[in-house]
């Protein structure tokens, strides 16, 4: 079963749940035997639980991790981070256009744009070239206003309360 029509979804905002929402959509798509590719920008650490799950759901779910381990310096990003983000976007274009996947998720791509790792024009160009029957999901904080305008659906996750502020670090199986 292929999609009759693919749209562009954006999950953004300062609240928790953007990647999780996109993984929920991926799980739903896999349940219908659609093929899903998630490319994770700026997530060179790990492994994350979703990567372990993807191994169990192959060949329907593929997750490709890109970026260096650790945090990107948002005020002065390293050239290596910019190069890896550009490589990840080129890979995303290949997966989007390749005809193998019904759903392509670019996890944290909005953050990569907002940190200056990628020009917004490059992401907008990829969005404009999306095949008609492929769904595209873009996650990450600070989605550019032009990306929001070009998308078909935009959801903003709004933090009201977060246990991180009470000293609870990322937990295996929940955040990683």
Q: Is the dihedral of CA 118, 119, 122, 125 positive or negative?
A: positive
Q: Is residue 147 part of a domain?
A: yes
| Tokens coding 20 | 């999780």
Q: Is residue 98 part of a domain?
A: yes
Does the pLDDT of residue 113 top 80, yes or no? yes
Domain count, the chain: 1
**Quick one: pLDDT at residue 1?**
60
Summarize pLDDT for 156-172 with one digit per residue, the tens: 999 889 888 888 888 88
Looking at 16-144, list the stretches that DSSP marks H as alpha helix, in order from N- to C-terminal side: 18-31, 49-57, 79-97, 109-114, 120-128
Q: Is residue 170 part of a domain?
A: no
Q: Global pTM?
A: 0.94
Summarize pLDDT for 117-149 with one digit per residue, the tens: 999 999 999 999 999 999 999 999 999 999 999
Q: Is residue 94 part of a domain?
A: yes
Number of C-alpha atoms within 13 angstroms, CB side, residue 73?
A: 6
Q: Is residue 3 part of a domain?
A: no
**Quick one: pLDDT at residue 78?**
94
* Domain span at 93: 8-158
Q: Is residue 114 part of a domain?
A: yes
Three-class secondary structure of residue 163 per DSSP: helix
Q: Is residue 138 part of a domain?
A: yes
Summarize pLDDT for 95-110 with one digit per residue, the tens: 999 999 999 999 999 9
The residues, any chain, with a CB within 8 Å of residue 132's CB and separated by 6 or more, are 5, 6
Q: Is residue 175 part of a domain?
A: no
104: domain CATH number is 3.40.50.300
């Amino acid at each position: 079963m292929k999609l009759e029509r693919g749209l562009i979804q954006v999950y953004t905002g300062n609240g928790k749940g953007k990647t999780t929402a996109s993984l929920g959509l991926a799980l739903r798509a896999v349940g219908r035997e659609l093929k899903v590719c998630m490319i994770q920008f700026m997530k060179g650490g790990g492994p994350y639980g979703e990567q372990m799950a993807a191994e169990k759901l192959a060949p329907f779910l593929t997750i490709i991790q890109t970026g260096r381990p650790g945090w990107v310096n948002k005020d002065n990003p390293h050239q290596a981070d910019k190069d890896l983000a550009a490589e990840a976007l080129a890979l995303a274009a290949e997966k989007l256009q390749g005809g193998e996947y019904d759903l392509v998720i670019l996890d944290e791509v909005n953050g990569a744009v907002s940190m200056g790792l990628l020009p917004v024009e490059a992401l907008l160009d990829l969005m404009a070239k999306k095949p008609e029957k492929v769904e595209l999901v873009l996650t990450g904080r600070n989605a550019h206003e032009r990306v929001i305008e070009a998308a078909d659906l935009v959801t903003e996750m709004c933090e009201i309360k977060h246990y991180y502020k009470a000293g609870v670090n990322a937990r295996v199986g929940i955040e990683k």
